[in-house]
Structure 1
Amino acid sequence: MKKLLIGAALGALLLPASGALAQDHDHACIDEACTVFELFQASEPGATVTGWQGVEAPRYGTWGFDLAGRDTSVEPGESFFRHANGAALDRMQIPSDRTSYGSFALLRELSDNRLKAMIDGLVARTDLAPGSDEAKIADAYRAYMDEARIESLDAQPLQPYLAAIRAADTHDKLAVYMGETQGRFGGSIFGTGITIDQKAPTRYVVATGQSGIGLPNRDYYLEERWAEKKALYRAYVERMLEMIGWDDPAANADAILAFETRIAEAHWTPIQNRNRDETYNEYTIAQLASEAPGFPWQAYYDAVGVGGVPRLIVRQDTAMPKIAAIYAETPVEVIQAWQAFHTTDDAAGLLSKRFSDAQWEFRSRDLQGQPAQRSRDKRAISFAEGMLGEAIGRQYVAEYFPAESKAKMEELVANLRTALGNRINTYDWMSDETKAAAQDKLAKFTVKIGYPNKWRDYSDLEIRGDDLFGNAERAGLFQWNYRLNRLNDPVDKDEWGMFPQTVNAYYNSANNEIVFPAAILQPPFFDPDADPAVNYGGIGGVIGHEIGHGFDDQGSKSDGDGVLRNWWTPEDKARFEALTTRLGAQYDQFEPIPGFNVQGGLTMGENIGDAAGTAVGLEAYHLSLDGQPAPVIDGLSGDQRFFYGWAQVWQSKYRDDALRQQIATDPHSPAEFRVIGPLRNIDAWYDAFDVQPGDKYYLAPEDRVRIW
């Protein structure tokens, strides 16, 4: 099920990196872990998590910021991240079943706890109508928790797949198999899905991109610093092949690694994959077959179900001929073994303990340093949510999202839009013509808060309480058919890319929309009882971040209607790119862990979002004061409390392996530099905390980058 490009890609506050498919910048999220199916464990700040906790939102101090969490021995200019959060970070322990911990994790645990309480209540009921969403949720959970049945089946659910792979004894048959298993378990050297057409965002289009590797991205195959992880991967491939009884697992593991290394050499880099101009390439299937011979494109697309489309979008056009040639040159037996491994790896979490443990040991322990696996009931919650997320979200909203939170958010968003509009008018690097286009885009933003206006219909999805593997298969096909069947329909502007219970937010450039799920509208991001300065620094910064994505180095390539086109004058575009280059150079210097510097080019969009979020959020806070001076609280000015509010949002720590992987793969900077990076470019931060020349993160006024 790793082959599907889901809709228009998310650009969220936190975004997961993927080695399988190039990230589409159409969505930008605030958090680097923005997958809607992954839930995290957390508890009170600094506590060790040992089990399920409560369902009450956390509180931070008496007015929204935890003063006791600071480390005032660290000067703000030496590390504002440590100054604002150091004591809390020193107390904080990463739970053994997690690779990171912090403010986002705390709210994810809260979301988990609430889902657990809701689902436990459904499982206990005997009056649920068969086929109802509530019954499906309960059955999905029951099936995952039925360990006795899962152990008794062992690898049996895989056998039809493995038999089909053995029968696919030619290159053409294997390509057809890749297409036929769309939405099911398995691998493909190309990822195909249905997405919003970036140049005609009222319609959907088929998109195809590079795939075929099992490590997080190409760097893991090609850079010496990842040699240990590559060796662990090769051992994992052999282990999985042994477990399914595949012939000569050692030799096939070597061949699979060699095959994937060649594919990785052809892959575009993560930075290349961010470029929306370069990843939009129109082709007919016949043109693709002509330019990328060696792969039976028409047969493949026929098997996927899109063989009759008049056009498609190819993401990495120069990589496709290379990968197709590699496919043609590789012996059938190697591709069969490769497919058998990826199918097993894809399904392992739903098989017996020996498979699920092996998958966890490599993917979480070896790659990311996670010492312990999540408990089965937590994984069961995630599984049920992955299949029936909006059905669960509907109940979550009814129980946990007050109407006043939505109203307050609407007011905050309006203030942020006004602040950015005012700022655009003052920019001396932008012409009146470009300013007018930017104002038009800002005016056309759509805002979604809390939950969808209409809920997903799951009536055609069959879920059984005694069929875990079958539930996953049916859910994958249900999701794929849902997208496939609307290919010729107008774009559904009401659709959400996240569930209400997801702790995140995102911008979608094709719809020119910013989206804030219910679960993020809680402390430390948003507290209706908190000091407004802290709320503007927290959720205000998040709002500004998402609006900023509409004007970052990639989001700025779409207009107010979501159309991918250039609305800049050449001179303004050159000045904008000069500013982004300077910002990227700043982030290139950050070294969160020895030997691993932040990649300013990879993180550019999120860094611009953070810069916009803090600068525009601060101006919106000042506007909210309506000309009155900000009150002083506990000796702190309004501006100081605003900056503390932003820093508290990013209170988090990582395991070393997880941090290395994030730096290599993720378009988000590590939390420390999501605090330091934007603030050192804001004049008011220097004034608020008396940051002076000689301080580690001091920038001279002429070196500060002010974009939005």
Structure 2
Amino acid sequence: MKQNLIAGIGFTALSVLMACNQGQKKEAAKATPDPLAANRDTTINPRQDFFEYANGGWIKRNPIPPEYSSWGIGNLVQEELYTRLREINEKAVANPSDPISKKIAAFWKEGMDSVKLNADGIKPIEPKLKAIDGITNLQELAQVSAQLSTFAGVLSVIGIEQDAKNSERMSVIFWQGGIGLPNRDYYFNTDDRTAKIRAAYPGHISRMLQFTGMSAAAASSAAADIVKLETILAKNSRKLEALRDPEANYHKMPVSKLNQLAGNIDWSKYLQQQGISKFADTVIVGQPEFYTALSNALKSEKLETWKNYLKWMVVSEAAPYLSDSISYADFEFYGKLLSGREKQQVRWKRVLNAEEKAMGEALGQLFVKEYFPAKAKKRYEDLVEDIRGALKTRIQNLTWMSDSTKEKALYKLSKITKKVGYPDKWKDFSAMDIKEQSYFDNVYQAGLWWHQYSINKLGKPVDRTEWDMTPQTYNAYYNPSNNEIVLPAGIFTVPGKRDAELDDALVYGYAGASTIGHEITHGFDDEGRQFDAAGNLKSWWSKEDEKKFNERAAVMVKQFDGYVVVDSLHINGKATLGENIADLGGILLGWDAFQKTEQFKKNEKISGLTPSERYFLGYSLGWVSHTKKEELARRVLTDVHSPAKFRVNGPFSDVDAFYEVYGLKPGDGMYRPDSLRVRIW
């Protein structure tokens, strides 16, 4: 998955934005400088630090706004998108002419009504808090938790996904969760930055519980118990790198066995309360030891602690959709302390973010009509085939892989489905109960709709036409269970430029390498390679080839383990391995494909740059950004992507063509001896 420079990541992985700037007037577009030339800092030697050379000029001219923890190309695209989506919402409010526009108008109006939100305060979630207060035993605790889990991530994470070993079947997946800090490491790491966050955490929980009516003393005592409880769950949660092993996180079992593993909850009833049990005779448990620990904690920790924990989870999840005081308290901890943002986003942008999550595909239908023409769609569909052809040639020419494994790899490559721009079939949001009610209720109803939408997949054929991103998303993904790459219209945007103005060198680096080549390579990274052409977790490699792959991947793990990001925090080479392999693969594939273009063959300069230079700068354009230290530290602990700088400098140091184009020699900062360069695909 290409890294999302703006938002977060969900149960499977996703999120992002806009298409080709077709709305810009031609005269204005011509006045826009060539970004590859303009973004550079020519005081930096590209052989020493290519990221700073390629993007340093832009970074110097564009400080991070106070309401953001990072700022880069994804944000520039998002800003254009915000403006366009706001227009769509305001038109819907002025003329709600159809069911979709009525829902859009209602969501927008309720989210924007700060007077009503501030008057209501905690009122919208009082029914949830009252239900928690009424709990008298563990059975009732489980029942209320099941009801809340459609909105808040209490106890654990339960989702409906394709069975990794039978991609034709949708299954119920149990995953670790239930903690309020970003992941387990926040509860145990001893570095100063993490320790400061951990020390502030009980105070934040106490502050949020006081909004529910607790006294300061009661809230403080409850917060201490909650942190103790979450620490138990965190201790029994797997580390980030361990979650990337699909085989080790696949435990298929009957619900009766889950009841044996974690018997203090009747999981059959729990699933029944969620409307799932009809199809859930068997489930897939990612981390069984987590569920055993959860069950034990239900007995060892006081019922009152669990009730306060549920209240904390509900108010924390609901905070962005409640009054300004509650919302800002949530921001001060998660936005300021964890991510380094100085200022909260303006309300209208926060409402658009929530609306995107609730029914972004409905907005997408209106979006693509205006901003992603057929000509642009065809350009990138053709580029996918150019990249596919490049990987086919590379596989055929591998010297370390046996012919039998090559044959299967080529077959898998031929079966990769491409989805470009937007879905052929749109989701039907008519049953989503969005209307003039509280902002929280609209968000909650959207969550219920998505919960039911997922449940409805059980017992039915897998819909392989579905998209997990909206067309206006600035991101892309590879889905191993479908063996597909999904490339929303938004990912191809270069801010301020129409698609027709972009030369092939820029496009093959920016879209071909950092996006299309990256996603195709995910089908053959350390995780994706374990899935076959039909999308099943199934070994198709010879043992010898597997060994050779792992030896080559270990070189990359060691390379990235050596990079220091902030303070004393190093990149986690194992956790980021899949994304690093995909970055390197994308660069190599984009380069191979670009060499066949007329622009490369003519070798004519644009803005004083050769086509080859423009290719590497084009790739770097996809990562133009800078990030605050607080956010960098958070990402090192929670993100399977390396920070932007290392997604340029790291893989470029392994690409022979880069050495040739820029004349790297021993002693240069970007130089790695041939014996230490990563050679996989």
TM-score, L = length of structure 1: 0.91
Q: CA deviation digits over 1:480-519, x for unaligned, max 9?
A: 0111122111111111000011111111111111111111
Task: Give the counterpart of 1:198 among 159, 164, 176.
Answer: 164
Q: How does 1:98-497 map to 2 (within 5 A)?
A: 98-125=68-95, 128-129=97-98, 132-184=99-151, 186-225=152-191, 226-246=194-214, 248-308=218-278, 309-497=280-468
Which position in structure 2 is the counterpart of 1:50? none
- AA matched with 2:436: G
- AA matched with 2:549: F
Matched, 1:532 2:504: yes
- SS state at 1:473 partner: helix
- SS state at 2:288 partner: coil
The 2-side partners of 1:523 and 1:548 are apart by 23
Give unmatched runs, 5+ long, in structure 1: 1-10, 28-33, 45-53
Which position in structure 2 is the counterpart of 1:7? none
Percentage of identical aligned residues = 35
User: Following TM superposition, by how much is the alpha carbon of 1:639 offset from its aligned partner in structure 2, in angstroms?
Assistant: 1.8
The 2-side partners of 1:402 and 1:103 are apart by 22
Give unmatched runs, 5+ long, in structure 2: none
Alpha-carbon spacing, 1:430–1:313, altered in 2? closer, same or farther (3 Å): same
User: Following TM superposition, by how much is the alpha carbon of 1:632 offset from its aligned partner in structure 2, in angstroms?
Assistant: 3.3
The 2-side partners of 1:398 and 1:642 are apart by 31
Alpha-carbon spacing, 1:609–1:408, altered in 2? closer, same or farther (3 Å): same
- AA matched with 2:660: D
Q: CA deviation digits over 1:530-566, x for unaligned, max 9?
A: 2211110110111000001000000111111111111
- SS state at 1:448 partner: strand
Alpha-carbon spacing, 1:618–1:658, altered in 2? closer, same or farther (3 Å): same
TM-score, L = length of structure 2: 0.95
Q: How does 1:467-616 map to 2 (within 5 A)?
A: 467-523=438-494, 527-541=499-513, 542-616=515-589
- SS state at 1:538 partner: helix
Alpha-carbon spacing, 1:61–1:418, altered in 2? closer, same or farther (3 Å): farther
Alpha-carbon spacing, 1:187–1:102, altered in 2? closer, same or farther (3 Å): closer
The 2-side partners of 1:427 and 1:302 are apart by 51
- SS state at 1:536 partner: helix
341-350 or 145-154: bigger deviation: 145-154
The 2-side partners of 1:699 and 1:178 are apart by 53
Contact 1:405/1:521, CA 8 A, preserved across alignment = no
Contact 1:505/1:520, CA 8 A, preserved across alignment = yes
Task: Give the counterpart of 1:655 among 628, 645, 655.
Answer: 628
Contact 2:5/2:74, CA 8 A, preserved across alignment = no
Which position in structure 2 is the counterpart of 1:8? none
User: Following TM superposition, by how much is the alpha carbon of 1:296 offset from its aligned partner in structure 2, in angstroms?
Assistant: 2.9
Task: Give the counterpart of 1:35 among 15, 38, 45.
Answer: 15
629-638 or 209-218: bigger deviation: 629-638
- SS state at 1:356 partner: helix
Alpha-carbon spacing, 1:124–1:626, altered in 2? closer, same or farther (3 Å): closer
The 1-side partners of 2:133 and 2:80 are apart by 46
Contact 1:18/1:216, CA 8 A, preserved across alignment = no
Alignment RMSD? 2.2
Contact 1:141/1:383, CA 8 A, preserved across alignment = no
User: Number of matched residues?
Assistant: 670
The 1-side partners of 2:503 and 2:120 are apart by 56
The 1-side partners of 2:500 and 2:40 are apart by 23
User: Following TM superposition, by how much is the alpha carbon of 1:354 offset from its aligned partner in structure 2, in angstroms?
Assistant: 1.4
The 2-side partners of 1:602 and 1:18 are apart by 17
- SS state at 2:575 partner: coil
Contact 2:37/2:607, CA 8 A, preserved across alignment = no
Q: CA deviation digits over 1:587-611, x for unaligned, max 9?
A: 0111121211111111111101100
Q: CA deviation digits over 1:220-252, x for unaligned, max 9?
A: 111122111012221110001111113611111
User: Following TM superposition, by how much is the alpha carbon of 1:69 offset from its aligned partner in structure 2, in angstroms?
Assistant: 2.0
Which of the pair is proportionally richer in helix? 2
The 2-side partners of 1:350 and 1:69 are apart by 38
